[in-house]
Amino acid sequence: MSSDLPPHMRPERSFQGLILGLQSYWADYGCVILQPYDMEVGAGTFHPATTLRALGPKPWNAAYVQPSRRPKDGRYGENPNRLQHYYQFQVILKPSPIDLQDLYLRSLYAIGINPSLHDIRFVEDDWESPTLGARGLGWECWCDGMEVSQFTYFQQVAGFECAPVSGELTYGLERLAMYVQGVDRVFELNFNGREGARKVTYGDVFLQAEEEYSRHNFEYADTDMLFEQFRMAEQACRRYIDAGWATVGNSRRHLLALPAYDQCIKASHVFNLLDARGVISVTERQSYILRVRELAKACGEAWLATAAGGADAYAGSAA
């Protein structure tokens, strides 16, 4: 594990070391190590490498860091552990291996959490994403009373039953890093593992951004523009979905599933911003969520008609 690394690279010494540790553990397992998706998302699950790849019959093992934005969670940098922008480390294994819990526990060991010193628990927490039309069963994983990960067996995504089932692990990186570094305030996390003048903290990197984006999310975000953007993204998504259907050979295929899904992600994030600005009433809120879900369902259906979605496997029977 980490003992043969130089101190500044160790997962328990730096935020980036923690990320590298998880990446190297899951790379060693055989995962594709992806980079973050280049769009604003509320959670790592929105990355097409999870949402879309969880659909269809093809095996898929991937891991990646995903910056995640939750506009409502901003606290102007004043709260010790709430952020409107944070990192998730996401692992998706399809089909879920039978030793997934052990794999997960070994990943904790790899980043410096020795299970013989800690109290690690799997506490019921079923996951549901109304906007993605997705749900799964699983737990939040507790280490000494702190939720450090979410562990989910996907049952349904975009309204489609998952078969085979994917196992999804989501590590809350800041919390985990605070835990292994023994820090109480997120901004005090050691980011680069150096000490003294060369030390860079999480606050050095992100505090100003938290302040500015909190202002933006709660006070300044241009709501007229955002309403317009929501409408545009929704329309574009529908247009790409409609345009993408084609007949290839004797099977029905979709040629624009990924670009259409981008617009679904976009609509979802814009909705989150509008929600943070408090301009969506409680009754309207439900209808916005439903509108995004409809997009997600259409994208899921489209994905299942692509090669990566397993359309090949069905090609013979599609007629």
Task: Please say which residue, 92 or 233, places its beta carbon nearer to another protein.
Answer: 92
Task: Please say which residue, 250 or 283, places its beta carbon nearer to another protein.
Answer: 283
The answer to the question of residue 115 lying near another protein (CB under 8 A) is yes
Binding mask 134-173 for another protein (x = CB under 8 A): --xxxx---xxxx------x-x-------xxx-x------
Q: Which amino acid is at 101?
A: Q
Question: What are the beta bridge partners of residue 167?
Answer: 93, 153
Closest CA to 241 of 257, 227, 253: 257
Task: Choose, by CB under 8 A, the member of 97, 225, 287, 290 that binds another protein.
Answer: 97
How far apart CA 298 and CA 315 sit, in angstroms, is 20
Task: Please say which residue, 144 or 222, places its beta carbon nearer to another protein.
Answer: 144
Find the part of the chain contacting another protein (CB under 8 A) among 14-22, 77-85, 206-214, 238-246: 77-85
Task: Please say which residue, 133 or 136, places its beta carbon nearer to another protein.
Answer: 136
Half-sphere exposure of 291 (CA within 13 A, CB side): 20
Task: Please say which residue, 122 or 245, places its beta carbon nearer to another protein.
Answer: 122
Half-sphere exposure of 154 (CA within 13 A, CB side): 34
Task: Please say which residue, 157 or 260, places its beta carbon nearer to another protein.
Answer: 157
Task: Please say which residue, 115 or 235, places its beta carbon nearer to another protein.
Answer: 115
The answer to the question of residue 214 lying near another protein (CB under 8 A) is no
Please identify which residue in the block is written with the tokens 């973050």: 36
The answer to the question of residue 202 lying near another protein (CB under 8 A) is no
Please identify which residue in the block is written with the tokens 């981008």: 262
Asked if residue 44 lies in contact with residue 90, where contact means CB atoms within 8 angstroms, the answer is yes
The answer to the question of residue 30 lying near another protein (CB under 8 A) is no
Closest CA to 8 of 200, 205, 206, 195: 195
Task: Please say which residue, 139 or 261, places its beta carbon nearer to another protein.
Answer: 139
Find the part of the chain contacting another protein (CB under 8 A) among 44-52, 115-123, 196-204, 264-272: 115-123
Task: Choose, by CB under 8 A, the member of 119, 224, 250, 319 that binds another protein.
Answer: 119
Q: Which amino acid is at 173?
A: L
> Which tokens go with 160?
């489609």
Burial class (CB in 10 A: 0-12, 13-18, 19+), 44: buried
The answer to the question of residue 223 lying near another protein (CB under 8 A) is no
CB 40 to another protein: min, Å: 25
> Which tokens go with 282?
């409680």
How far apart CA 305 and CA 118 sit, in angstroms, is 46
The answer to the question of residue 124 lying near another protein (CB under 8 A) is yes
Task: Choose, by CB under 8 A, the member of 117, 224, 316, 319 that binds another protein.
Answer: 117
CB 154 to another protein: min, Å: 9
DSSP annotation string for 237-278: HHHHHHHHEEEETTEEEES-HHHHHHHHHHHHHHHHHHHHTT
Radius of gyration of the chain (CA): 20
Residues that bind another protein (CB under 8 A): 79-82, 95-98, 100-101, 115-124, 126, 136-139, 143-146, 153, 155, 163-165, 167, 179, 184, 281-283
